Amino acid sequence: MDPIRIAVVGLGKIARDQHLPAIAGNGTFSLAATVSPHDHAIEGVPHLASLDALLAEGPAVDAVALCTPPQVRHDLAVAALKRGVHVFLEKPPGATLSEVAALQVRADRVGASLFAAWHARFAAGVAPARAWLAERRIDRVQVTWREDVRVWHPGQAWIWEPGGLGVFDPGINALSIVTHILPRPIFLKAATLTLPENRAAPIAAELHLLDTADAPITVDFDWRQTGPQLWDIIVETDAGTLRLSQGGAVLALPSGTEHGEDVEYAGLYSRFANLIRGGCSDVDTDPLRIVADAFLCGRRLTTQAFHD
């Protein structure tokens, strides 16, 4: 079977650190081209300044991985889907829920695969955590996602603009795990968003959610963390406490602790290949829906200006 010819659109840090190595390590794909109006090319790989140029001039591609900021991703996905090209959407899958729903309709119409790729769900501890929780009574959940924005997102102005999500850009990784591992649906009850006076997106957020059995879920996102960075999910159950740390890479159960290797993007590309070969899509928007609800009904506080 011929490899799936894929182009990577957007060559920022996530594309270079994660997407390109994952594609190189998966024999189902071949890197056909890269696209960016600003970033330099990869040696030996055709490089174009725009997706329109790639689709018009070649080389031919079967799929694209969209690694751009979310605010421009919809139009790029539309251009690809019009040609019947399969689309991998980095997280979050779009700037709005409605545009992602519209992309799903387009993908279904042309028979292309659309993949909303939540990489944190493929962290080593997530699948066994989901399995362990499946038959447990959930008593309460605490999510703490605190990191230093100057370390992880230096100079990324787009992330502070409408549609860029602010602290929810990393926080949505936690929500993607929680919505995946808990055995019942969850929904937002209240939120507080803290915005710097010179920015359009929050630097911190507190969420209060419930599952459909009324188990409370408390979420603490903050981009002002210095010192140790915290990416923890603690689930108290009738059988003891489960802890996912390091963004889902380490799972601690009452029976012991499991450490896994970084396989997130390898897992994503295996999933994308299976979707394409099977003629299917996977467009789960539950994590983005919770973020949208927080922006819809959350109380807003203003804090001091933030400067990189």
Mean pLDDT, residues 244-259? 91
Confidence class for position 241, pLDDT limits 50, 70, 90: very high
Instruction: Give the per-residue pLDDT at 39.
Output: 79
Of the candidates 115, 120, 110, 8, the one whose C-alpha atom is nearest the C-alpha of residue 54 is 8
- Percent helix, strand, coil in the chain, to 5, is 35, 30, 35
Instruction: Give the per-residue pLDDT at 258.
Output: 78
Q: Give yes or no for a cis peptide into 92 (omega within 30° of 0).
A: yes
Confidence class for position 235, pLDDT limits 50, 70, 90: very high
Confidence class for position 54, pLDDT limits 50, 70, 90: very high
Q: Which fold has domain 120-260+292-303?
A: Dihydrodipicolinate Reductase; domain 2 (3.30.360)
pLDDT digits (tens, 9 = 90+) for 261-282: 778 999 999 999 999 999 999 9
Q: Domain map of the chain by residue range?
A: 4-116, 120-260+292-303
Whether the Cβ atoms of residue 87 and residue 64 lie closer than 8 Å to each other: yes
Mean pLDDT, residues 91-114? 97
The question of whether 13 is a catalytic residue gets the answer no
Instruction: Give the per-residue pLDDT at 197.
Output: 97
What is the four-CA torsion angle of 274, 118, 156, 70, rounded to 10 degrees? Answer: 70
Confidence class for position 254, pLDDT limits 50, 70, 90: very high
Whether the Cβ atoms of residue 64 and residue 51 lie closer than 8 Å to each other: yes
Mean pLDDT (the chain, rounded)? 95
pLDDT digits (tens, 9 = 90+) for 290-308: 999 999 999 999 999 999 8
| 3-state secondary structure (DSSP) of residue 110 | helix
Give kind and range of the element (H or E) at residue 76: helix 73-82
- Per cent of the chain over pLDDT 90 is 92
pLDDT digits (tens, 9 = 90+) for 128-170: 999 999 999 999 999 999 999 999 999 899 999 999 999 999 9
Alpha carbon distance 236, 218 (integer Å) = 12
Of the candidates 57, 105, 114, the one whose C-alpha atom is nearest the C-alpha of residue 86 is 114
Given the candidates 3.30.1950.10, 3.40.710.10, 3.30.70.420, 3.40.50.720, the CATH classification of the domain at 4-116 is 3.40.50.720
Residue 186 has pLDDT above 80, yes or no: yes
In this prediction the pTM is 0.95
Mean pLDDT, residues 16-36? 96
Alpha carbon distance 7, 241 (integer Å) = 43
Residues facing residue 242 across a β-bridge? 235
Confidence class for position 240, pLDDT limits 50, 70, 90: very high
Instruction: Give the per-residue pLDDT at 86.
Output: 98
What is the four-CA torsion angle of 146, 210, 90, 156, rounded to 10 degrees? Answer: -40
